[in-house]
């Protein structure tokens, strides 16, 4: 409660949450006993049931869209390790709160990086615009970065965070052209081949990816192995780097649950195993 700023309305609520917390401690202990990769522990989600965590923080949407063409990177010899954070191309970890708006955060993070790598100053953009205004998606119920990119391209741009602050709930569209901080022309879908993803990531930009995060609630550190999560995509994040020399090799993934979760807001996923279905929905905006 102290670490994560939790408080409860009365003793009955406290006891209810405490009992859920105790069940989660048992689950965490079991997962750690079985794990050869990820390390689990108490997080801000440890007073929630798995069902509550899913309904409050993950997406509840239809099947992801299928791309018709994929961008590949023939002839690119990717370095063995790479991290866009060291190149100043990644903004700080954000927090989506109790809203399934990860898709908007994932798309926004990619656009910020693409604009910076296009030679402009790094913008801090407002994902709330996508939540409120993109009618092809479902706000706090979920959506897809590819549709968010299409929306931004058609709308004429994305407002800055200061012009369109985040509220963490569905609202009416308040997009203002004078608040635009970035413009894009569209997006590319990236090859599902992780070797191609490695080549593309190191030469293009930090990518938007979507994953199965149903087993992420108690992640603290370590490399999550492919057998530690499922394949039902329910969350979108940002792929920022990798280390293919590690054992096991891993991807560096930026989440949107604040810096108090995971490794200062990041999770590491095992490479070349399509861990958590991370290679299925990979996209990037272009200017």
Q: Indicate if 102 belongs to the active site.
A: yes
Q: Which is the catalytic residue, given 99, 102, 137, 276?
A: 102
Residue with tokens 């931004």: 152
Q: Indicate if 16 belongs to the active site.
A: no
Measured CA to CA, the distance from residue 198 to residue 52 in angstroms comes to 35
- Please state the separation of Cα 55 from the chain's center in Å: 16
Alpha helices in 58-211 (DSSP H): 102-117, 128-133, 145-155, 194-203
By DSSP bridging, strand 207-211 and strand 235-243 are antiparallel
Measured CA to CA, the distance from residue 67 to residue 123 in angstroms comes to 28
Q: Which is the catalytic residue, given 24, 110, 150, 255?
A: 255
Q: Which is the catalytic residue, given 133, 235, 236, 276?
A: 235
Q: Indicate if 255 belongs to the active site.
A: yes
Measured CA to CA, the distance from residue 181 to residue 158 in angstroms comes to 6
Say if residues 107 and 142 touch (Cβ distance below 8 Å): no
Measured CA to CA, the distance from residue 271 to residue 277 in angstroms comes to 11
Spatial CB neighbours of 76, under 8 Å, sequence gap ≥ 6: 199, 200, 202, 203
Say if residues 166 and 174 touch (Cβ distance below 8 Å): no
The catalytic residue positions are 102, 235, 255
């Amino acid at each position: 409660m102290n670490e994560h700023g939790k408080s409860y309305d009365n003793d009955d609520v406290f006891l209810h949450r405490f009992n859920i917390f105790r069940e989660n401690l048992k689950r965490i202990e079991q997962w750690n006993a079985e794990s050869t990769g990820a390390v689990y522990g108490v997080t801000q989600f440890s007073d929630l049931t798995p069902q509550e965590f899913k309904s409050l923080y993950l997406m509840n949407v239809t099947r992801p869209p299928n791309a018709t063409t994929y961008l590949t990177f023939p002839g690119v010899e990717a370095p063995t390790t790479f991290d866009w954070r060291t190149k100043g191309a990644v903004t700080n970890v954000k927090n989506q709160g109790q809203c399934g708006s990860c898709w908007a955060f994932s798309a926004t993070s990619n656009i910020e990086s693409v604009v910076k790598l296009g030679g402009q100053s790094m913008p801090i953009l407002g994902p709330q615009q996508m939540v409120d205004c993109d009618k092809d998606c479902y706000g706090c119920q979920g959506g897809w970065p590819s549709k968010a990119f299409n929306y931004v391209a058609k709308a004429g741009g994305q407002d800055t965070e200061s012009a369109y602050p985040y509220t963490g709930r569905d609202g009416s569209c308040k997009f203002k052209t004078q608040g635009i901080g970035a413009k894009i022309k569209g997006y590319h879908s990236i090859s599902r081949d992780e070797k191609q993803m490695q080549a593309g990531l190191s030469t293009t930009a930090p990518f938007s990816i979507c994953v199965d995060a149903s087993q992420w609630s108690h992640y603290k550190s370590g490399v999550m192995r492919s057998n530690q999560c499922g394949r039902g995509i329910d969350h979108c994040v940002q792929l920022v780097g990798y280390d293919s020399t590690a054992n096991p090799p891993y991807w560096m993934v930026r989440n949107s649950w604040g810096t108090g979760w995971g490794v200062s807001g990041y999770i590491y996923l095992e490479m070349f195993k399509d861990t958590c279905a991370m290679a299925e929905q990979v996209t990037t905006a272009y200017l």
